[in-house]
Structure 1
Amino acid sequence: MSEAINVAEIFGQDVFNETVMQERLPKKIYKELKKTVEEGKELDLEIADVIAHEMKEWAIDKGATHYTHWFQPLTGVTAEKHDSFISAPLDSGKVLMSFSGKELIKGEPDASSFPSGGLRATFEARGYTAWDATSPAFVRHDSAGATLCIPTAFCSYTGEALDQKTPLLRSMEAINTQALRLVRLFGNMTAKKVTPSVGPEQEYFLVDADKFRQRKDLIYTGRTLFGAMPPKGQELDDHYFGTIKRRVAAFMKDLNVELWKLGVSAKTQHNEVAPAQHELAPIYAKVNVAVDHNQIIMQTLKRVAGQHNLKCLLHEKPFAGVNGSGKHNNWSLTTDDGKNLLEPGKTPHENIQFLLVLACILRAVDKHAALLRESAADPGNDHRLGANEAPPAIISVFLGEQLEDVVCQLVDTGEATTCKKGGKLETGVKTLPNLAKDATDRNRTSPFAFTGNKFEFRMVGSRDSIASPNTVINTIVAETFCDACDLLEKSEDFEKAVHDLIKDYMTEHQRIIFNGNGYSDEWVEEAERRGLPNIRSMVGAIPALVTDETVNLFERFKVFTRAELESRAEIKYENYAKAINIEARTMIDMASKQLIPAIMKYTKTLAETVIAVKEVGVSAQVQLAHLEEVSQLLEEAEKALNILWNVTEKASAMEEGQEQANYYHDSVIPAMEALRAPIDKLEMKVDKEAWPMPSYGDLLFEV
């Protein structure tokens, strides 16, 4: 019988949270820290020394021997350098355990080996990590023991952001400033802060670790570069929300416990639509905390999976032919006095503040659709977006019947006098109660969907940080709030001005609203007629980062400088090229050393079979036809392999940047697909015992 878990007792036990600080810090120090965090001021070093001492004592009580500044460079993963609490040895041969305020506030990892996109020369090594006091420190327990992890931002010696966290924090300040201006216009004088909150749902695959280790493509790239579909995929939809298998359930139980200890409010878990695919969703948190928690979730998924001899795959498309994985970024805005700015109320047409916020968001998304698309751009996401399993590559906004009706009334007549009601959902079964019906349905094909009191941005890739999309959303909404407030604050007749502004914004940007099937070919044609961008690849999306409009936007709100944006574009081109280069070379390696030799050996067996059958005087027509078909596909694979080798060598020799990334997209990827096609066909022809690696069926159904 499994051990009972008291969630309330273990939740946050490894987090230096509010409760711990109140217990351990002197009241004066605690109040000063809270004031510093709320007002965004610099922390006094004497206060920092007291906090650092108590944090160290608490961490040592948890078994910690080391601390690390835990940061998020532009590598796509987190980074850390561990230092022990040991200070200089005493004459007695003993050592003191110390941790100063200076060590808490600032670290100095080598910045030269992290991606900087030209912001830093290789010989310019100095970089700084700065404590993000708004995200709590935590103790992580793993094979290295217990480590105190301090969430930090990471910047260069000259002040440029070298990470995901710094721009996010800047964008939070921008939207806070502009949202406060907006709520003041509607008479809210009590709110002191408006904070974006996010609940990111995380999708992932689980496969057997022993089978994983037999696939070089999974080891090197995180996805299968070859693989024929098994007889059954996800056609029956029987895996979706199905009964969780025992091995997976045991993994999920341990995962939840580890996350709860770290203060991550893991709430929902279920099987996703593809076989071996699952989902975990936390409760909402402040966006910078949610970003940190999502990184903790991804790291913990991998670590706990290993304890169950499983491998967690976070690639957006680990298997061709079944759904890929994303993370749905549920974004809302909340004041510190408890008001959700995206809450329509019972009669949305009468809620003027909500309608203004809605109109501003429609304008922001329409105006910066290409930039929003870029924020979810990733080499793996190219396989997923628009592939009839995820949102299309076209940005649009789903509002639902109720809000679309309100918008149409405002656009058509200038007034919204009625509002569709939810009513009752008749079940037709006497023993079941009739349910209160929501006023609007949901639309899983929409990339940016209103879902009651939040917007769900569904494009984000499963292994990507949610920092980038939320930095963009915060900033583009801050811009439109600012523009709206600039007009309204000067108006002599506020009611008329806000009414006219809502109508103008909704009329001008009504084209971004689409409630229909985003997977349909008709929508692609309709979107083109509306003038909406359809950016199909990462390399096509990156230029949106460095347009004059984007630079002006981010510099206006001090989120990015032009140099920071240009560096990020350069890094993204390089990362794309490197990712595709690794995939291409992995395909070459697998085809050359494993697959083609195995197929050749199989043709030898077939040839011997043909000879043996003929020698006994029996027709070998079937065996000969099979041999000819396999040999023809083998020849096709060999030709495709040579082409892939040549284009990969050419791509590798090119200078890093946009041209090289485009060549990988335009020439290397098609060559990879051309090699995969005959080999996947051969997998269906060759004896399973002769095939040198586990099949899709082995990976997807044997956990």
Structure 2
Amino acid sequence: MKPITDAFGSMVFNEAVMKEKLPKDVFKKLKATIREGKTLDANVANTVANAMKDWAVEKGVTHYTHWFQPMTGITAEKHESFIAPDDHDGVILEFSGKELIKGEPDASSFPNGGLRATFEARGYTTWDPTSYAFIKDNTLCIPTIFCSFDGSSLDKKTPLLRSMAVLNEQALRILKLFGSDATHVSTTVGCEQEYFLIDKELFAQREDLLLCGRTLFGKLPPKGQEMEDHYFGMLDNRVLAFMQELDEELWKLGILAKTEHKEVAPRQFELAPIFSTTNIATDHNQLTMELMKKIADKHGFACLLHEKPFEGINGSGKHNNWSISTNTGVNLLEPGETPATNAQFLLFLCAVIKGADEYQDLLRVSVATPSNDHRLGANEAPPAIISVHLGDELTSILECIEENTVYDKIYDKKMEIGVDILPAFPKDTTDRNRTSPFAFTGNKFEFRMLGSSLSIACPNIMLNTIVAEELSLFADELEKAEELKSALAALIKKTIREHKRILFSGNGYTDEWVKEAEKRGLLNLKTTIDALPYYTSEKNIKLFTKHKIFTENEMRSRGEILLENYCKTINIEALTMVDMVQKQILPAIEKVTKSLTETILNKKAVSPAFDCAAEMDHLHQVDENYKALYFDCQKLEKACIKTTALDSMHEQGKLFSTTILKMMETLRADADALESLCSDKAWPIPCYTALLFHD
């Protein structure tokens, strides 16, 4: 491998490459387009396209694609070659500005939530110059947005860019009041990614993993994660080789992969990057998940990104570390040396607190998926109740502001480590609260509710928009104030007093917190079906349409897509269970029953004096559980047919989230009881011990 400094970004058409390959005037105009959103004229586009093509061809590329993020949660691409016929029965390589800027994939089979009829197939991809083009699999990938014929957004990238623009606009209004010379504000994200690696051959033998990404059956092994010996443990050679190749490929794409380690559960790992601008971080996380799967396959692994691939051990999340920064290098969520007197910081902090309180439903909806429902509130992830953790110092400061008392507490204590050869280090007054869904961690907020397979676009759209809304209201009030200092103090005090209910630094796993949250009037939306109706409430439609993030139709379509995805996911899982029971488990149990019966008959044939009580008891247990499995499987299959026949998707969702899921739990219990009565050889699918502890 090349030195990291040489390899990093080598597959990206980044600013350094553009500066080298483009004429100075074209480079300047392109930079203006990227930084200021100016329109790119056709001549500049053609020059950029030709330079981009030449650079890619030099690296062996033959095709290009408009790389976009439809509402499937994954990326999409349609490949086109650079070839065009010449006048001598040969070919030349061409790539025009028109082809760079605009593509036309068939949009008929992408989720649209009723935005258009099925026969209205036309869709457009449009170049997003704020995200660099890159080379993947010998193809030039051009990041784009995706919209329908009438201009409606059909992707996750468009509203994300809109939300970033709105937050920039409103934050600059606030900064102007403080005399800042900043001209641009952007949100940044560092996204920690958890995942599982299991043996590829074992993965291929499990229909549930192949079709659903999680195990629908499986008895817990004698050892799980209770010894806590996996966390930060030594990496074995095969995993280490996977991680090294993953790093190399991510670095080539300019992705700042930084930290890797074993997580709590067996076969579970984490990768954390350095933060990037939110739209870039979103692109990079999509690429990271894709490369994890692809590179895992090369090393004999299957990479599982499902939030709960194994029952009874920790699932996987994705921590979204979100902050706000100016183009002058100022982190607006940095408290500074004296946060009690840092009015600008306190005002931005209050905007986040107020937004989290008033739009807690939107934050919950942004992470609502059927797979994440298995994880949230399960004492391994934050609860489904939104709350904000600030740490001792900030909490004390806000209390003093509300009570109009002087803050005089000293938080410069040293934490003694107890080993003389090690230095003391300053105590961090924002200690992490792993049970908090939304925690302040020094100069950023860590949104910890995201599921591991989720696109981070939606949560960041929500964060950007709700904070932009609060900043706009703050600016409206402060801009007309006769005396800024007193108005600012009154606004901060009022915000703390009215929204302190969302602040909580205790243990979010306890029943006491659930009761306390209810007293405070906080929402406890336990499932996706509970959360989804809030998405299109009058309050939330007003918010997004006011800031032109979504039209009302775009919002309603996304609500329908989320609901449809929920119903389809649970139905697929239920039918997979039925398929596995009928084709694998029941036939295997019939063989076990036959073997036990033959053993008993053979013993009796040798001598009636032989005691067959143990075999009879074993056979009886197998038979009882076999009958339960058989009839419960039939009930589940019939219930799925009945549920999917309903005209109302909302009614389907209610039944899937209650009746069908309960029936699936019952069927799983039947099968898991049978697994404990069978030998590993007789059981038709790889067991948890093999999946979690096979090297």
Which residue does the alignment assign to 1:300?
291
Bigger mean CA deviation after superposition, 665-674 or 461-470: 665-674
Give the count of matched residue pairs.
693
How far residue 574 of structure 1 moved from its aligned partner, in angstroms, is 0.7
| Partners of 1:203 and 1:327 within 8 A in 2 | yes
Structure 1 residue ranges (4+ consecutive) displaced by more than 3 angstroms after TM superposition: none
| Partners of 1:349 and 1:418 within 8 A in 2 | no
Which residue does the alignment assign to 2:242?
251
| Partners of 1:348 and 1:419 within 8 A in 2 | no
Are 2:646 and 1:654 aligned? yes
Which residue does the alignment assign to 1:432?
422
Which residue does the alignment assign to 1:80?
77
What's the CA shift string for 1:578-626, capped at 9, x where partnerless? 1111101100000001001101210111122222333432211111111
Alignment of 1:296-375 (within 5 A): 296-375=287-366
Aligned-partner Cα distance in 2 for 1:172–1:577: 32
Distance 1:401 1:555, change over 3 A: same
Are 2:125 and 1:134 aligned? no
Alignment of 1:400-415 (within 5 A): 400-413=391-404, 415=405
The one-letter amino acid of 2:39's match is: E
Describe the SS at the equivalent of 2:83: coil
| Partners of 1:422 and 1:440 within 8 A in 2 | no
Aligned-partner Cα distance in 2 for 1:62–1:419: 60
Which residue does the alignment assign to 2:367?
376
The one-letter amino acid of 2:260's match is: Q
Are 2:522 and 1:525 aligned? no
The one-letter amino acid of 1:259's match is: L
How far residue 636 of structure 1 moved from its aligned partner, in angstroms, is 1.2
Aligned-partner Cα distance in 1 for 2:612–2:113: 62
What's the CA shift string for 1:471-504, capped at 9, x where partnerless? 0000000000000010000001111101010010
2:142 paired residue among 150, 168, 191: 150
How far residue 441 of structure 1 moved from its aligned partner, in angstroms, is 1.2
TM-score, scaled to structure 1: 0.98
Aligned-partner Cα distance in 1 for 2:63–2:143: 15
| Partners of 2:430 and 2:440 within 8 A in 1 | no
| Partners of 1:226 and 1:680 within 8 A in 2 | yes
What's the CA shift string for 1:642-680, capped at 9, x where partnerless? 110111111121225212111111211111111000111
What's the CA shift string for 1:28-65, capped at 9, x where partnerless? 11110111111112211110100000000001111110
| Partners of 1:317 and 1:323 within 8 A in 2 | yes
Alignment of 1:556-567 (within 5 A): 556-567=546-557
The one-letter amino acid of 2:158's match is: T
How far residue 309 of structure 1 moved from its aligned partner, in angstroms, is 1.4
Alignment of 1:49-448 (within 5 A): 49-87=46-84, 89-141=85-137, 146-188=138-180, 190-413=181-404, 415-448=405-438
Alignment of 1:472-491 (within 5 A): 472-491=462-481
Describe the SS at the equivalent of 1:270: strand
Are 2:595 and 1:605 aligned? yes
Bigger mean CA deviation after superposition, 603-612 or 248-257: 603-612
| Partners of 2:213 and 2:305 within 8 A in 1 | yes
2:8 paired residue among 7, 11, 15: 11
Aligned-partner Cα distance in 1 for 2:580–2:648: 26
The one-letter amino acid of 2:395's match is: E
The one-letter amino acid of 2:473's match is: D
Which residue does the alignment assign to 1:34?
31
| Partners of 1:651 and 1:663 within 8 A in 2 | yes
Aligned-partner Cα distance in 2 for 1:590–1:656: 29
| Partners of 1:570 and 1:658 within 8 A in 2 | no
| Partners of 1:588 and 1:645 within 8 A in 2 | yes
| Partners of 2:49 and 2:100 within 8 A in 1 | yes
| Partners of 1:385 and 1:391 within 8 A in 2 | yes
Aligned-partner Cα distance in 2 for 1:42–1:419: 53
Alignment of 1:14-25 (within 5 A): 14-25=11-22
Percent identity over the alignment?
54
Describe the SS at the equivalent of 2:370: coil
Aligned-partner Cα distance in 2 for 1:100–1:91: 19
> Aligned-residue CA RMSD in angstroms?
1.0
Which residue does the alignment assign to 2:558?
568
| Partners of 1:317 and 1:384 within 8 A in 2 | yes
Aligned-partner Cα distance in 2 for 1:406–1:207: 47
Are 2:543 and 1:547 aligned? no
What's the CA shift string for 1:512-556, capped at 9, x where partnerless? 011011111111111111110000111111111100000000011
Which residue does the alignment assign to 1:691?
683
What's the CA shift string for 1:291-347, capped at 9, x where partnerless? 000000000001101111110000010000110011000000000000000000111
What's the CA shift string for 1:199-253, capped at 9, x where partnerless? 0000000011100000000000000000001110000110010001111111000
What's the CA shift string for 1:160-188, capped at 9, x where partnerless? 11000000000001100000011111110
2:444 paired residue among 427, 442, 454: 454
Aligned-partner Cα distance in 1 for 2:11–2:482: 55
How far residue 90 of structure 1 moved from its aligned partner, in angstroms, is 1.9
Bigger mean CA deviation after superposition, 651-660 or 314-323: 651-660
The one-letter amino acid of 1:242's match is: G
How far residue 120 of structure 1 moved from its aligned partner, in angstroms, is 1.1
How far residue 5 of structure 1 moved from its aligned partner, in angstroms, is 5.3
The one-letter amino acid of 2:509's match is: Y
Aligned-partner Cα distance in 2 for 1:647–1:41: 56
Which residue does the alignment assign to 2:692?
700
Bigger mean CA deviation after superposition, 195-204 or 33-42: 33-42
Bigger mean CA deviation after superposition, 612-621 or 478-487: 612-621
Aligned-partner Cα distance in 1 for 2:2–2:493: 53
Distance 1:151 1:583, change over 3 A: same
Which residue does the alignment assign to 2:486?
496
Aligned-partner Cα distance in 2 for 1:42–1:591: 59
Aligned-partner Cα distance in 2 for 1:32–1:154: 24
| Partners of 1:229 and 1:321 within 8 A in 2 | yes
Describe the SS at the equivalent of 2:307: coil
Q: Which runs of 5+ in 2 are unaligned?
A: none
How far residue 419 of structure 1 moved from its aligned partner, in angstroms, is 4.3
Describe the SS at the equivalent of 2:261: strand
Which residue does the alignment assign to 1:644?
636
1:680 paired residue among 672, 680, 687: 672
TM-score, scaled to structure 2: 0.99
How far residue 375 of structure 1 moved from its aligned partner, in angstroms, is 0.2
